[in-house]
Structure 1
Amino acid sequence: MQINEEYVNQIDTSLNPQLGMSNPIPILASDNRNYFLKREYVVDQNGISHNENAVFMQELFVSQIANSL
C-alpha cells in the first residue's frame, strides 16, 4: 500500500465529532478529501493527559489489512 503525504488545507469547524478520546479535528486535505485528524495526546475521564502515538501505527496496520481484504 502506498502512503501519500497530504497537507491540511482547511479545518472544518462545521463538524464537531464527539466520539473518540482523541477528539479528532475535521480537516480538508490537499487532495480535496475530508479527514478526521487525530491528536497524539488524549485526556482521560480524570483529566490526565496520555501520549497515544502508538494508536497511529495501529490504525495504519488495520487500514492496510482492510484494504487487502
Structure 2
Amino acid sequence: MSATNFSNCLSEDVDALAGALYTWCAERNIKLRSQQGLSIASIAIDLYHAGHQTQDALLVALHERELH
C-alpha cells in the first residue's frame, strides 16, 4: 500500500469516528471534552475495532448499546 492510499484510508477512518462522535454528542447535548464525551469516544473506538467501520454503523451500534 502506498503512503497516499494509507493516508486516505486513515483519513476515512478518522472521518467515520469523528462524524459518529460529533453526531452522538450533539444529539444528547454532550460536550466532546467532558468525561462523558471521552467515554463515548472510547466506546466508539472499541466499536470501530469490532467491525462497525462507517459513521452509520457506529451510530447504530452506539444506539443499540444505549438501549441495553
The alignment's TM-score, normalised by the length of structure 2, stands at: 0.28
Q: Higher strand share goes to which structure?
A: 1
Highest CA radius of gyration, 1 or 2?
1
TM-score (normalizing by structure 1): 0.28
Q: Which has the higher contact order (CA 8 A, sep 6+)?
A: 2
- Bigger fraction of residues in helix: 2
